[in-house]
Structure formats: C-alpha cells, structure tokens
Amino acid sequence: MKPTTRVRTHKLVLWAIPLALALGGPLAAQEAAGDTAVNPPQVISPEAQAVLDRMTAHLQSLTSFSIETDASRDEVVAYGYKVQNNEHSFITVQRPNKLRAEVSGDIRNRTFVYDTGKLTMYSPDDAVYVLVDAPDTLGGMIGNLLDAGVEMPLIDVLYQAAAGTLTEAVRSGILVGTSKIDGAACDQLAFRQANVDWQLWVEQGDRPLPRKIVITTRYEIGDPQYQAILHWNLKPKIHSATFVFAPPKGATAIAFDTPAPSVVDAP
C-alpha cells in the first residue's frame, strides 16, 4: 500500500483511490530508503504473496463489475469515546473509463459519476454537486482525487489491488489462515505498515476476489478502524444512464473549492 493507504488514516495508503478515489506521501516520507533501523527490510511470506498475485491477476481480467458493500468506520470523539459509523455503498465499474458510486451512511450520503474525462460529485444532504474535468482513465482520475485529499479507502484498496501495488509500503505480511465471509472460504492476510495495520480476506478457488478489508490506524487514540465487506457481481446490468448524472430538481452546481465536505468523501 502506498502512503495515501496508498493507507491515509481512513484514506488507505492502499489505493492512493480513488475509488482510488482518494488515495503517497506521509508513509513514503517516513519510510524513505536509507536507514534499515527505521526502514526494516520488507518481509512478506511467500504464501501471502501468492494469494495477492492470484487476486491481482483476476482483478486485471475483469472488464465490468459491481460491488455492494457494508462498511463501518470508527470516529474518536470527546474524552476518547469511540463511535462507530455505518455506511452502505454500491459501485459499478466499466473499464477503462466509467464508474458510478452511490454511498449512504450515518455521516453523509454522496454520489460519484465518472465517464471519460468528466467527474460529478453530488451531495444530496446539501443539494449541491460538483462537475470537474478529470483524466481519461480510471487510474488517472483516482490518482488525482487521492492527491486532492478525497477520502475513499475502499476504492483506494481496489485500485491498488488491481494495479498490484498494495504492498509498496508494507513492512511485513503473513497468511493467517482460512476464514469464511458470507459462506465463502477465504484466505485471511495480515499486513503492517509504518502507522497502519490492515487485513484482507481473498476468496479461495477460481474467484480470488477481495471479500473483506479491515484497516487499523495505530498510534491514534482508540486505534480506530475502517472495515468493509464486499459483495461482487461480475455480470452487472449496465444501462445507458448508469454513467450519466442528471441533477435532481433543486440541486445546485458549485465550484470544487466551495466548502461542502460531504461532496468530496468517497467510499
């Protein structure tokens, strides 16, 4: 994972997302090459690497898919209380340049629609949306969003998983064993970065898809976590309007730099 999870706190230095929508920097700076006392050599077990390699090859073979997710993220509030916020998202991807993500949750609701160089981010809670030019590929669009500080841990993870860069900032990684997610047997992997621990569950068999992700931010009060369970559809029904944003009645277009926090947080 790259620093901006590329896992960034809740922004995975994993994706660098968007979707990698947001998702280095911070971890890369801390792990600059040179001092092995500060930067111990990377140690990933052959068994864990083999699972990652299978997953990456399978993800790269997909041309279109949809993912329904149930996620939670911890929020540390006054006096160190840790509150868990839940959210549900539905993501549809058509490579190389189309994506739609709809997210509803305890903190905010938002929609992202991307199609060949145009990205719309919509916040129904504020009745505002942003339309911006974006790179012509998903990878470029996600990288830009991550660099702009858009938070999208799930998309970040998926993007870096497909690119094969999940472990760039990893110091150690192991295969924990077998675990079941929604009845499917999965390989459970565990990794450590400078300030982040993360776990990944990858389905066994001929569908080596990521089925669960857990990210723990160390050295913060309460060691807050982000976790998501992923439900995949590899033959989604994609309609002509899937990647088109039609502003709802009463919605107002705003500039990207106008304060509206709920517009720019991704899954």
**Residues 132-170: pLDDT tens digits?**
898 898 888 888 877 777 766 677 788 888 888 889 999
- Where does the pLDDT of residue 10 fall: very low under 50, low under 70, confident under 90, or very high at 90 and above? very low
Instruction: Evaluate whether 134 touches 97 at the Cβ level (below 8 Å).
Output: no
Give residue 152's pLDDT.
Answer: 66
CA distance 77 to 81: 5
Instruction: Evaluate whether 54 touches 202 at the Cβ level (below 8 Å).
Output: yes
Instruction: Evaluate whether 156 touches 5 at the Cβ level (below 8 Å).
Output: yes
User: Across the chain, which distance is largest between two alpha carbons, in Å?
Assistant: 58
| 155: enclosing H helix or E strand | helix 153-163
CA distance 260 to 249: 19
Ramachandran angles phi, psi of 11, nearest 5°: -80, 115
Q: What is the mean pLDDT of the chain?
A: 82
- Where does the pLDDT of residue 266 fall: very low under 50, low under 70, confident under 90, or very high at 90 and above? low
Q: How many helices (H) and strands (E) does the chain have?
A: 4, 15
Give residue 258's pLDDT.
Answer: 54
- Where does the pLDDT of residue 234 fall: very low under 50, low under 70, confident under 90, or very high at 90 and above? very high
Instruction: Evaluate whether 99 touches 92 at the Cβ level (below 8 Å).
Output: yes
Task: Provide mean pLDDT across the span 11-37.
Answer: 30
* pLDDT reading at 13 higher than 60: no
Q: Which fold does the domain 44-143+170-263 belong to in CATH?
A: outer membrane lipoprotein receptor (LolB), chain A (2.50.20)
Residue pointed to by tokens 């989604």: 236
Structure tokens at 76: 């540390």
Domain residue extents for the chain: 44-143+170-263
CA distance 122 to 160: 25
* pLDDT reading at 12 higher than 70: no
**How does pLDDT run across 182-204, given as a tens digit for each residue?**
999 999 999 999 999 999 999 99
* pLDDT reading at 25 higher than 80: no
- Where does the pLDDT of residue 111 fall: very low under 50, low under 70, confident under 90, or very high at 90 and above? very high
Q: 52 vs 41, 73, 86, 109, CA distance in Å?
A: 19, 24, 28, 32
* Top-confidence residue, 127 or 4: 127
| CA-angle at 158, arms to 145 and 188, nearest 5° | 140
